[in-house]
Chains A and B, each alone.
Chain A
Amino acid sequence: MRVGLFIPCFVDQLKPAVAIATLELLERFGCDVFYPENQTCCGQPLANAGLESESLPVMKQFVSSFEECDYIVSPSGSCVLHVREHYDTLDQTDSVQRIRSQTMELCEFLTDILHIERLDASFPHRVGVLASCHGLRGLRLGAASELVEQRPDKVRNLLDMVSGLEVVETSRSDECCGFGGTFALTEDAVSGAMGRDRLNDFLESGPAYITGTDMSCLMHLEGIIRRNELPLRVLHVAEILNGGAA
Chain B
Amino acid sequence: MNHPQEASVFNDDPERSQWHDETLWLVRDKRDQAAHRVGDWESLREQASQIKAHSLSKLDDYLSEFEKNAIANGIKVHWASDADEHNRIVLKILKDRGVQQLVKSKSMLTEECHLNPFLDANGIEVIDTDLGERIVQLADEPPSHIVMPAIHMRKEEVGELFHDHLGSEAGASDPEYLTDVARQHLRAKFLAADAALTGVNFAVAETGGFVVCTNEGNADLGVHLAPVHIACMGIEKIIPLAEDLGVFLRLLARSATGQDLTVYTSHFHSPRTGAELHLVLVDNGRSERLGQEEFRDALKCIRCGACMNTCPVYRRSGGHSYDWTLPGPLGSVLAPHVDMDAFSSLPFASTLCGSCTDVCPVKIDLHGQLYAWRQKIMAGKSDSGPPLAMKMLAFILARPAAFRSAGWLGRWIIRHTSSNWQRRRFKGWGASRELPTAPKESFRTWYLKNRAAP
Residues of A at the B interface (CB closer than 8 Å) are 7, 9, 11-17, 19-20, 23, 35, 37-41, 43, 45-55, 57-58, 60-61, 86, 133-134, 137-138, 144-149, 172, 175-176, 178-197, 219-220, 222-224, 226-227
A14 touches B436 (CB 8 A): yes
A189 touches B398 (CB 8 A): no
- Chain B nearest CB from A143 CB (Å) reads 10
B431 contact from A176, A181, A192, Cβ within 8 A: A192
- Contacts of A86 on B, CB cut-off 8 Å? 371
B390 touches A40 (CB 8 A): no
Q: List 10 A-B contacts (CB under 8 A).
A: A9-B407, A37-B448, A46-B393, A49-B378, A58-B398, A148-B36, A187-B349, A189-B7, A190-B312, A222-B436
The answer, yes or no, to whether B416 is at the interface (CB within 8 Å) is: no
- Chain A nearest CB from B332 CB (Å) reads 12
- Contacts of A189 on B, CB cut-off 8 Å? 4, 7-8, 10-11, 431
The answer, yes or no, to whether B354 is at the interface (CB within 8 Å) is: yes
- Contacts of A19 on B, CB cut-off 8 Å? 443, 446-447
Cα-based distance from A132 to B275 in the complex (angstroms): 57
- Contacts of B38 on A, CB cut-off 8 Å? 148
Cα-based distance from A9 to B402 in the complex (angstroms): 12
Cα-based distance from A179 to B21 in the complex (angstroms): 17
A48 touches B316 (CB 8 A): no
A147 touches B443 (CB 8 A): no
B411 touches A146 (CB 8 A): no
The answer, yes or no, to whether B432 is at the interface (CB within 8 Å) is: yes
B355 touches A16 (CB 8 A): no
A194 touches B442 (CB 8 A): no
Given known A40-B398, A40-B400, A61-B398, contact A148–B41 (CB-CB < 8 A): yes
Given known A16-B441, A40-B403, contact A51–B355 (CB-CB < 8 A): no
B443 touches A16 (CB 8 A): yes
The residue in chain B whose Cβ has the minimal distance to the Cβ of A194 is: B312
A13 contact from B316, B376, B393, B411, Cβ within 8 A: B411
The answer, yes or no, to whether B35 is at the interface (CB within 8 Å) is: yes
- Chain A nearest CB from B141 CB (Å) reads 21
Given known A41-B397, A180-B350, contact A188–B438 (CB-CB < 8 A): no
Cα-based distance from A183 to B443 in the complex (angstroms): 26
- Contacts of A197 on B, CB cut-off 8 Å? 18, 21, 316
A176 touches B351 (CB 8 A): yes
Interface of A is mostly: helix
The residue in chain A whose Cβ has the minimal distance to the Cβ of B381 is: A50
The 7 closest A-B pairs by CB, nearest first: A223-B433, A180-B351, A192-B432, A50-B378, A185-B428, A50-B374, A137-B354
A55 touches B407 (CB 8 A): no
The answer, yes or no, to whether B359 is at the interface (CB within 8 Å) is: yes
- Contacts of B394 on A, CB cut-off 8 Å? 46, 51, 54-55, 57-58
A180 touches B428 (CB 8 A): no
B348 touches A188 (CB 8 A): no
Cα-based distance from A40 to B442 in the complex (angstroms): 12
A37 touches B390 (CB 8 A): no
Cα-based distance from A38 to B404 in the complex (angstroms): 10
The residue in chain B whose Cβ has the minimal distance to the Cβ of A17 is: B439
Cα-based distance from A7 to B438 in the complex (angstroms): 16
Cα-based distance from A194 to B32 in the complex (angstroms): 21
Residues facing A in B376-395 (CB within 8 A) are 376-379, 386, 390-391, 393-394
The answer, yes or no, to whether B357 is at the interface (CB within 8 Å) is: yes
- Contacts of B35 on A, CB cut-off 8 Å? 148
- Contacts of A46 on B, CB cut-off 8 Å? 390, 393-394, 397
- Contacts of A133 on B, CB cut-off 8 Å? 351-355
A43 touches B434 (CB 8 A): no
- Contacts of A43 on B, CB cut-off 8 Å? 397
A187 touches B7 (CB 8 A): yes
A55 contact from B357, B397, B437, Cβ within 8 A: B397
B317 contact from A37, A40, A146, A190, Cβ within 8 A: A190
Residues facing A in B351-378 (CB within 8 A) are 351-355, 357-359, 371, 374-378
A180 touches B444 (CB 8 A): no
The answer, yes or no, to whether B25 is at the interface (CB within 8 Å) is: yes
A16 contact from B371, B379, B439, Cβ within 8 A: B439
Cα-based distance from A179 to B3 in the complex (angstroms): 17
Residues facing A in B5-38 (CB within 8 A) are 7-8, 10-11, 14, 17-18, 21, 25, 32, 35-36, 38
- Contacts of A15 on B, CB cut-off 8 Å? 436, 439
Given known A16-B439, A16-B446, contact A41–B358 (CB-CB < 8 A): no
The answer, yes or no, to whether B165 is at the interface (CB within 8 Å) is: no
Residues facing A in B317-367 (CB within 8 A) are 317, 347-355, 357-359
B428 touches A188 (CB 8 A): yes
Cα-based distance from A43 to B391 in the complex (angstroms): 12
Cα-based distance from A197 to B375 in the complex (angstroms): 30
- Contacts of A61 on B, CB cut-off 8 Å? 397-400
The answer, yes or no, to whether B452 is at the interface (CB within 8 Å) is: yes
Most buried by B among A145, A190, A227: A190
The answer, yes or no, to whether B214 is at the interface (CB within 8 Å) is: no
Cα-based distance from A14 to B431 in the complex (angstroms): 20
A13 touches B32 (CB 8 A): no
B451 contact from A23, A54, A57, A192, Cβ within 8 A: A23
A37 contact from B14, B374, B393, B444, Cβ within 8 A: B444
Cα-based distance from A54 to B391 in the complex (angstroms): 8
B398 touches A180 (CB 8 A): no
A184 touches B375 (CB 8 A): no
The answer, yes or no, to whether B429 is at the interface (CB within 8 Å) is: yes
The answer, yes or no, to whether B435 is at the interface (CB within 8 Å) is: yes
B444 contact from A12, A47, A138, A196, Cβ within 8 A: A12
- Contacts of B284 on A, CB cut-off 8 Å? none
Given A61-B398, A180-B352, A191-B432, 12 new contacts (CB under 8 A): A35-B444, A51-B378, A58-B397, A146-B32, A147-B42, A181-B351, A185-B428, A187-B4, A187-B7, A188-B429, A219-B436, A227-B433
